[in-house]
Amino acid sequence: MLRHTPVLARETFENLPNSFGRYFDGTFGHWGHVEYLLNHREEQHPGQKVEVIACDLDQRVMDKGEVFIGKRNKQVKLLHSSYAAIRSIWEQEGKFDFMLLDLGVNMEHFKDGERGFSIKTDADLDMRFNQDAKTTAKDIVNHYSLQELVRILIKYGDFSEKSAEYFAKGIIEERKKKKIESTWELKEILYNLHCNQKKIAVIFQVLRIETNKELEQLEQFLQDFPNVLTKWGRCAIMTYHSIEDRITKFAFKALEEGGKFRLVHKKVIQPHYKEVEKNKAARSAKLRIIEKVV
Ligand SMILES: C[S@@+](CC[C@H](N)C(=O)[O-])C[C@H]1O[C@@H](n2cnc3c(N)ncnc32)[C@H](O)[C@@H]1O
């Protein structure tokens, strides 16, 4: 019985390459996909051994994962690292037959009131996946210039220039009076700027993306992963945000046009409504898979 249902797990792992031995999970999270693979590999690939290298930026996630998965499964190795460091992971660990990124936050991030990801709990405005990283959401809110705030609101939140400027100016006016420290202080400021709950959630997501440089990390991975796949190896990327999906789609298209890769499915894979009914987190998931053919 699985403790947590990973998104699009069946669709991901029914696309494993025929010869499959080495799996890289770049977003270990609460190890849902790793656990699914370990539980199902015998049905799909009887007798084949699998070696798993998994990483996550979040040290707390890695500590829990070590206890529940790492220590119990000798074939699983956990690294506290960004998937964007795939080049150096390759130098240390070798190539992979299958690679998966399941981007974004894990549900524990929202549930953990201290981390500042959720608008539902009052917490320090932190939002770092990696507790060793320097920049927090608080730094962004209190120190970014008007232009910088406008840029991220337009780019990651799809706000019009007019709305982005309105919210950015509102935040700057408030921080002149008092440093913005917590999630609820920011929520209150946005609420007073006539921001509804949905828009507040979008602005929190913008801050999370910027705090963790999520798009830059993805772009770095997309640049480096082609060298790290074995021949006939496959890479699967699951996104929850339209920009991440667009970046992935264009990078995969360019690889296919280069002649050394093939899209495994022409159309993006999305969850069945029954999966969404059971797991709301799956509702905006999009999965793309590419195969290395030479
Ligand atoms: C959606 S969750 C993964 C869930 C996991 N597949 C599961 O089923 O339990 C995304 C995870 O990626 C991690 N993460 C985000 N950016 C990362 C990065 N650049 N490198 C490594 N991990 C990252 C987050 O800390 C989070 O735990």
- Domain-wise residue ranges, the chain: 9-108+214-292, 134-211
Q: Flag whether pLDDT at 292 surpasses 70.
A: yes
Give the separation between CA 201 and CA 245, rounded to whole angstroms. Answer: 19
Which atom belonging to ligand 1 lies closest to the Cα atom of 26? Answer: 21
Domain 134-211, what fold?
DNA polymerase; domain 1 (1.10.150)
Which atom belonging to ligand 1 lies closest to the Cα atom of 55? Answer: 21
Q: Whose CA is nearest to atom 8 of ligand 1?
A: 32
Residue 256 Cα to ligand 1 midpoint, Å, equals: 26
Instruction: Encode pLDDT of 188-237 as tens digits.
Output: 999 999 999 999 999 999 999 999 999 999 999 999 999 999 999 999 99
Residue 19 Cα to ligand 1 midpoint, Å, equals: 26
Q: Tell me, yes or no, if the two domains 9-108+214-292 and 134-211 fold the same way.
A: no
Per-residue pLDDT averaged across 81-104, rounded?
A: 97
State which of 5, 24, 129 you would mutate to test the pocket of ligand 1, scoring each by most atoms of that ligand within 8 A of its C-beta.
129
The answer regarding whether domain 9-108+214-292 maps to CATH 1.10.645.10 reads: no
Instruction: Using pLDDT thresholds of 50, 70 and 90, give the confidence band for residue 3.
Output: low
State which of 24, 39, 56 you would mutate to test the pocket of ligand 1, scoring each by most atoms of that ligand within 8 A of its C-beta.
56
Ligand 1 residue neighbourhood (C-beta within 6 Å): 6, 26-27, 29-33, 55-58, 61, 82-84, 102, 104-106, 129, 212, 217
State which of 5, 7, 8, 27 you would mutate to test the pocket of ligand 1, scoring each by most atoms of that ligand within 8 A of its C-beta.
27
Residue 106 Cα to ligand 1 midpoint, Å, equals: 6
DSSP class of residue 182 equals B
Q: Whose CA is nearest to atom 7 of ligand 1?
A: 32
Instruction: Encode pLDDT of 59-90 as tens digits.
Output: 999 999 999 998 888 899 999 999 999 999 99
In 3D space, the residue among 156, 159, 161 whose CA is nearest the CA of residue 137 turns out to be: 156
- Chain centroid offset of residue 141 CA: 22
Q: Whose CA is nearest to atom 5 of ligand 1?
A: 29
Q: Give the pLDDT confidence score for residue 20 in this predicted structure.
A: 86
Q: Flag whether pLDDT at 10 surpasses 70.
A: yes
Q: In this structure, which amino acid lies at residue 165?
A: E
Lowest-pLDDT range, 66-70, 107-111, 119-123?
Answer: 107-111
Q: Whose CA is nearest to atom 3 of ligand 1?
A: 29
Residue 100 Cα to ligand 1 midpoint, Å, equals: 10
User: What is the percentage of the chain residues whose pLDDT exceeds 70?
Assistant: 98
Give the separation between CA 103 and CA 218, rounded to whole angstroms. Answer: 9
Q: Give the pLDDT confidence score for residue 1 in this predicted structure.
A: 41
Per-residue pLDDT averaged across 158-186, rounded?
A: 98
Residue 265 Cα to ligand 1 midpoint, Å, equals: 24
Q: Flag whether pLDDT at 111 surpasses 90.
A: no
Q: Whose CA is nearest to atom 20 of ligand 1?
A: 82
Q: Give the pLDDT confidence score for residue 137 in this predicted structure.
A: 98
Alpha helices by DSSP H, 118-267: 137-143, 146-157, 161-177, 183-192, 197-211, 214-228, 242-257
Q: Whose CA is nearest to atom 13 of ligand 1?
A: 27
Query: 52: part of which helix (H) or strand (E)?
Result: strand 51-56
Per-residue pLDDT averaged across 43-56, rounded?
A: 85
The DSSP bridge pattern shows strands 96-102 and 229-239 to be parallel
Phi-psi label, residue 19: left if phi above 0, alpha if psi -120 to 50, beta otherwise: beta
Which atom belonging to ligand 1 lies closest to the Cα atom of 33? Answer: 8
Residue 161 Cα to ligand 1 midpoint, Å, equals: 31
* pTM score: 0.95
